[in-house]
Amino acid sequence: MTNALQKAWRRGRNFLDLTVLPRIKDGIDERTARPSMEALVDSDLERHFKDKKPTIMYVSIRYDYGRNYWGLSYEHFQFYETLLNMDYSLIYFDYDVIRKKHGERKASQMLREAVYLYHPDILFYNHFGDWIQHEVWAEISDNLPTKTIIMLADDHWRYKESEPVWRLFNLVLTTDQAGFRKRMEEGFTNVFLTQWGCNHFLYSNLNLQRTYDVTFVGRCYGERKSFVQGLREKGVKITAFGQGWENGGRISQANLIRIYNESKISLNISIASTGSKTQIKGRDFEAVACGSLLLTKNTEDIGRYFVPGKEIVTYENLADASEKIEYYLRNEEERQEIAKNGYERFIRDHTMERRLSEVLSFAQKM
């Protein structure tokens, strides 16, 4: 009788209670052994396989800014949920949750392991935090058949910060015209100019009663705050939602869809969160997708996607915005006609499915 069994006998334990036995097999103590990499990959990855369809490994964050108490992220609703409805097999590698659970080094190893196990046709990465070891990105991009794509948000101010990462990918996606031109001038030709869009599988016109005259959705800071206050001083009845406003706190996607559907006019204040550059925002497409009249800053960029005065309405400054709000609230039929035209243009040209189809088609031809 072994020493372990003798000790168990003395304590009066049942011999059949195997929990008292050392779990040693092939030289491994199962009480302290950690799961193998294969086991971690199998348990931590979400997989949706479709027969004989190309496979995309989607690497991104699931939660808003990585905080699960804030809800699901923009990337999750717009990219993941769209890809899920497209004609691809999909593997979801939530690199934020995985690195918090296992550490950055192991998360990098798991990503490498997953690519070798599932050999996806395309790896689509939404860059948020620089948490995957660069040698892993390089190995996948340089040595394997998988085409690697990196999607850059806020490229206008993160260009240099993210350069050590994006240079490791087969294809760089940017929504920033200047960033696109700069890469081409520097000889990095594997770059694709894309734009935000909207997931029409989630966002749609629900034909709700338009109870709000004007709404703005977004955090309260800088020019946004003074712009909204200025409109109110001119008598505009505008309701603002988001952190820092009277209707404070994060707005869930369900409530965001409801707000757009209940808004006669949706205002977009186009200044970026960092710096002073005007940029296209996701709400430029989300509001239109829900049948609301979009009122947004008059820029060259917005004119590439909608026809001002026919599909959306643009403003030059605070006074102009106030006058146009007053006009389109008085002229309901004209407002509804422009909103209808905007929605039709969105469905035709600006769904996230359309954006991703263009990107994936370009990548597959590289």
In terms of residues, how long is the chain?
366
Q: How far is CA 51 from CA 91, 102, 134, in A?
A: 14, 31, 32
* Cα dihedral sign, 241-244-245-247: positive
- Which of the listed CATH numbers 3.30.450.20, 3.30.40.230, 3.40.50.2000, 1.10.8.100 matches domain 212-350? 3.40.50.2000
| CATH-assigned architecture of domain 54-197 | 3-Layer(aba) Sandwich (3.40)
What is the structure's pLDDT at 156? 87
Q: What confidence tens digit (pLDDT) does each residue in 116-157 have?
A: 999 999 999 999 999 999 999 999 999 999 999 999 988 989
Q: What is the mean pLDDT of residues 210-222?
A: 93
Fold agreement between 54-197 and 212-350? yes
pLDDT for residue 20 is more than 80? no
Strand-pairing partners, residue 93, are 59
Reported pTM: 0.87
What is residue 301's three-state secondary structure?
A: coil
Q: What is the mean pLDDT of residues 84-90?
A: 97
- Candidate ranges 23-37, 80-94, 214-228, 275-289; pick with highest mean pLDDT: 80-94
Between 58 and 32, where is the model more confident? 58
Beta strands in 194-270 (DSSP E): 212-217, 238-241, 263-268
pLDDT for residue 89 is more than 60? yes
pLDDT for residue 19 is more than 50? no
The full set of domain ranges for the chain reads: 54-197, 212-350
Q: What confidence tens digit (pLDDT) does each residue in 257-313 have?
A: 999 999 999 999 876 555 446 678 889 999 999 999 999 999 878 999 999 999 999
Q: How confident is the model at residue 186 (pLDDT cuts 50, 70, 90)?
A: very high
218-257 burial, b for 16+ CB within 10 Å, e for fewer?
A: bebeeebeebbebbeeeebebbbbbeebeeeebbebeebb
pLDDT for residue 90 is more than 50? yes
The token duo for 28 is 């491994």
Q: What is the mean pLDDT of residues 183-192?
A: 95
Q: How confident is the model at residue 250 (pLDDT cuts 50, 70, 90)?
A: confident
pLDDT for residue 195 is more than 60? yes
Q: What is the mean pLDDT of residues 196-212?
A: 96
pLDDT for residue 23 is more than 50? yes
The C-alpha atoms of residue 64 and residue 97 are separated, in whole angstroms, by 12
The C-alpha atoms of residue 193 and residue 308 are separated, in whole angstroms, by 22
pLDDT for residue 24 is more than 80? no
pLDDT for residue 22 is more than 90? no
Q: How confident is the model at residue 36 (pLDDT cuts 50, 70, 90)?
A: confident
pLDDT for residue 355 is more than 70? yes
Q: What is the mean pLDDT of residues 160-185?
A: 96
What is the structure's pLDDT at 292? 98
Mean pLDDT, rounded, of the chain = 90
The token duo for 306 is 């909608």
Q: Where are the alpha helices (DSSP H) in 119-154?
A: 134-143
pLDDT for residue 361 is more than 80? yes
